[in-house]
Chains A and B, each alone.
Chain A
């Protein structure tokens, strides 16, 4: 284990809704899948999320959004990552997302959208696939 990097994942809740059960379930579930999960809790601004992703050097950012503001919040996070040249970070969105918005999110650069009933194993598999496929680029 000491020679091999762990995959680090940030789980964050942008926006104003106060329900963190789903995010917590995912955070614990991914820990049990062997990931190092940084959990930043409720009511995060996109700026705080991007900042945490950079400082923690995560490979994955999981956004849990139930407020309905998923399009604009996700857009801001993705833009922030790009500005910091961290666009190799995998962005996942979960929560209450109408089917109609899935395409829009994916067009922005979201790798996958997960709604209620998703299995943690599926999220883990997607993350592993991505982590294997994209080698870490050092580009300060």
Chain B
């Protein structure tokens, strides 16, 4: 990093798309000093409305995202879109195809689209996506849409950090409600039955509504169910009126909840510990010693873990730091 984070952030806040894009890369890649970059970004963030869009592959999330983004842009809102797709566990590579359905809107003024790969659980998708969201927020975007495939816990955690979560379903997917993944149902603030141009959408919508009527929603409103066709533009007005309401409401409430903040601190600390452990144990050969002992049938993983942990704690020493802004 040749230029300072402050320069990069200033350029990005003045509208340099390239600066924004490079800032995201540096933080996503966890380049040296990325914490400093995020520290500098943080004070500028906190005003964007973050909407998570999740659901099974092929549900129409990307197509719908594109339709929503266009409508919001027409309302004068600026948007950041993050489209997450899984990395291949075999090669570590990824095919990021969401942009395919968003290319027409990608050149509209105020819209910035970024594809992100999950990069395996070690990468900490949730924190990385949160950081990218925050960068987009600090760059001045009014609304941030995050598309993820609602499969892994990681992806679910990503949308959980949003202000509002849309679960996109479609008829004929075998996605009967009994199949909807546990965990995705609970986080949804809005159920969207997409592909309503096809048979079965009405049935699916009433099935979901029936199920929701059986659930107790104590701390939040009962989720609505809307039917849409992203292709034939059916139900989009209804969807937009819900989303516009959310964006408007978000403008008033600017502070994150204390649970949210607590979780984020814990996650950052946990990540850092895990990184330090790996670095420390690999560096001084202790890890390999234990591996060798176990392979020689002279030890076992439980003994090794019990022996290594105190060694790590001792060698890492006590860290101290100052906190607080002048």
Q: Which residues of A contact B (CB under 8 A)?
A: 1-6, 27-28, 30-41, 44, 47-48, 51-52, 54-57, 84-86, 136-140
Contact = CB atoms under 8 A, between A and B. Distances in A.
A36 B8 contact: no
A48 B93 contact: no
Query: Which among A30, A57, A85 has the greatest number of chain B C-beta atoms within 10 A?
Result: A57
Nearest to A28: B95
Nearest to B117: A36
A97 B119 CA distance: 35
B168 interface: no
Query: Which among B12, B88, B99 has the greatest number of chain A C-beta atoms within 10 A?
Result: B99
A54 B16 CA distance: 11
B93 A32 contact: yes
Contact of B17 (A38, A47, A54): A54
Given A2-B30, A38-B115, A140 B11 contact: yes
A125 to B, nearest CB: 15
Contact of A55 (B11, B17, B30, B97): B17
A136 B2 CA distance: 10
Chain A, interface SS category = loop
B1 interface: yes
B95 to A, nearest CB: 4
A86 B21 CA distance: 12
5 contacts: A32-B90, A41-B100, A57-B22, A84-B17, A140-B12
Query: Which among B1, B28, B92, B120 has the greatest number of chain A C-beta atoms within 10 A?
Result: B92
Contacts of B96: 36-39
Interface in B7-41: 7-8, 11-12, 16-19, 21-22, 24-26, 28-31
Interface of B: 1-3, 7-8, 11-12, 16-19, 21-22, 24-26, 28-31, 87-88, 90-97, 99-100, 103, 106-107, 112-115, 117, 119-120, 122-124, 275
Contact of B99 (A4, A30, A40, A139): A40
B91 A3 contact: no
Going nearest first, the 4 A-B pairs with the smallest beta carbon separation are A140-B19, A5-B29, A140-B11, A31-B93
Contacts of B30: 2-3
A98 B165 CA distance: 51
Nearest to B81: A55
Contacts of A3: 29-30, 275
A78 B25 CA distance: 22
A48 B106 CA distance: 7
Contact of B95 (A39, A47, A48, A86): A39
